[in-house]
Amino acid sequence: MKTAYPIISVKRNDIVVANWGDTPIIKRVIAVPGDTLEIREGQVFLNGWYLNEPYIKEPMEAQNYGPIVLGENQYFLMGDNRNRSMDSRRIGTVPYDDFIGVIYLEQQPLLWVCFISFPFLIAALLLYEPRTKKPVEETPPEATENTEP
């Protein structure tokens, strides 16, 4: 479930809703005020370190950007679909005042899912009736009557 909450603080890696003109956009916060950001050959470097991004849809096409140092109240946003995203690489940094909310993703712990799902799985398997049986052929009512002489 995705839910947007009012902004209190914005951190790196948060997924936010922000205004871009009159259009709300949903992007990931890559860099916050004071960070140095650079893109070299399609790889993002944050404060001189390579940024591991397992969440992106596909490797970013080779491009270069920056380096830039984000000033006070500047945030660098990028979409997870990097090759088709309208983000800070094209529209510039986004000020804090343009944020509408932060999106939180609710994920259930794997152990909880196993404990809850496992009994249901067993019940489903026990109650499952395979549909490989041949349909019962109907016999005429007179054939079922007991006709002893």
Are 18 and 77 contacting, i.e. CB atoms less than 8 angstroms apart? yes
Domain 2-105 has CATH 3.90.700.10: no
Note the pTM of the prediction, 2 decimals.
0.66
pLDDT digits (tens, 9 = 90+) for 49-71: 999 988 888 888 888 998 999 99
Cα of first residue to Cα of last residue in the chain, in angstroms, is: 72
Q: What is the mean pLDDT of residues 30-34?
A: 94
Domain boundaries, the chain: 2-105
Side-chain half-sphere CA neighbours of 88 within 13 A: 25
- Residue 56 pLDDT: 85
Q: Please choose, from the candidates 23, 21, 69, 22, the residue with its C-alpha nearest in 3D space to the C-alpha of residue 45.
A: 69
Distance CA 94, CA 32 (A): 10
- Residue 44 pLDDT: 92
Distance CA 135, CA 25 (A): 56
pLDDT digits (tens, 9 = 90+) for 111-127: 444 444 444 444 444 44
Burial class, 43, CB count within 10 angstroms (exposed 0-12 / middle 13-18 / buried 19+): middle
